[in-house]
Amino acid sequence: MPLPSRTPQSAQTHTAPTATAAGPKRLIVDAAGSSEYTTIASAILGARPEDIIVLRPGTYKESLRIDRDVQIVGEGGRSKVIVEAAPGQGAVFMFTAGSATLTGLTIRIVGTGTANIGAGAIAVLAGTPVIEDCDLTSSAGSAVYILGAGANPVIRNCTMRNSRDDGVHVQEQGQGTIEKCVISGNTGSGVAITTGGNPTVRDCEIRDNKGVGVMVLEQGQGTIERCVISGNAYAGVQIKQGGNPVVRDCEIRDNKGGGVFVSEQGQGTIERCVISGNAFAGVEIRTGGNPVVRDCEIRDNKQAGVVVTEQAQGTFTGNTLTGNANGAWVIRADAGRVTRTGNRPNE
């Protein structure tokens, strides 16, 4: 899904001044007008790579393109400093190069309007930015977009919430590390990985989204580890259309669909996970899906522990299946080859 090509108003490319022996500076931005800079864009133009741009408490209405190594820090924490744009202006912060750092901000698209793919709080098209301790939301798209093989951000200790689309959408070979974040209440999936995206998502809570917790499709990959995936309106994890992630050491529980749903030639490796209390099967495989599920605890789901049907396959090794309402295994007559080794029970 391509991002809009429109360049935000403040997105012109400039060359930062060359560093001097004077050392790094703190550039203070105050929307109320009591410092040298009243906009973030003007401070970026005046910053050298090692300078720190400090945003005083207030609301900054800007849409910014970042192509350099700048540090932007909110004074007083993310509840005090808000950077926002309206639908139709593109992302609030769009990263196209460099290793910028954002810390301690609320970053949001606000207002009503047509949903706009790419209108995120954050859009990373290239570079290795670090976003820490930020609150991210969009009324017009996903909270975060990561797009392209050169996009490799670190997003840490952030919330991605209540957005009109996904919490995080990684696509077209995008990468990135998302860790210790809370991803909740989004209209789409908590995390969507498509078209060869390959992020690492670790130590996150992915909960109460109105779609799937983690959706992997269209040859998406990714590593999802040590996450709690719970309370989502559909499956905790859904893999289809050639998706092939690794999901390990996660709790996938209490989702309103199944725990893990694999279909349409989806693959994936699910290992050392606890898959429990989901409204449908713990693991359901349909229409040519073929995952590996090993060393998991699959228990107390409201339907069977494992269901395989419609020419689907699967390899199950070393799993424990207990307390599932419709029994441990439902292998339909139309299933393909299902390999079971060392499970308890194994048949």
Domain map (residue ranges) of the chain: 1-173, 211-347
**What pLDDT shows up at residue 80?**
96
d(CA 239, CA 242): 8
Amino acid at 83: V
> Tokens in use for 11?
């997105």
**What pLDDT shows up at residue 113?**
64
Whether the predicted model's global pTM rises above the 0.85 cut: yes
CA distances (Å), origin 286, targets 78, 132, 332 = 44, 39, 10
Strands (E), 9-105: 26-29, 52-55, 58-61, 64-66, 71-74, 81-85, 93-95, 101-103
> Tokens in use for 42?
């003007």
Amino acid at 184: S
**What pLDDT shows up at residue 90?**
86
Instruction: Evaluate the CA torsion angle 155, 243, 269, 167 in order and state its sign.
Output: positive
Residue 44 φ/ψ, nearest 5 degrees: -60, -40
> Tokens in use for 143?
């909270």
- Helix, strand or coil for residue 46? helix
Any bridge partners for residue 201, and if so which?
Answer: 178, 224
Burial class (CB in 10 A: 0-12, 13-18, 19+), 315: middle
Query: What DSSP character marks residue 16?
Result: P
**What pLDDT shows up at residue 116?**
61
> Tokens in use for 96?
């196209």
**Given the structure tokens 């360049």, which residue do they identify?**
7
- Residues of the chain whose pLDDT is less than 50? 1-20
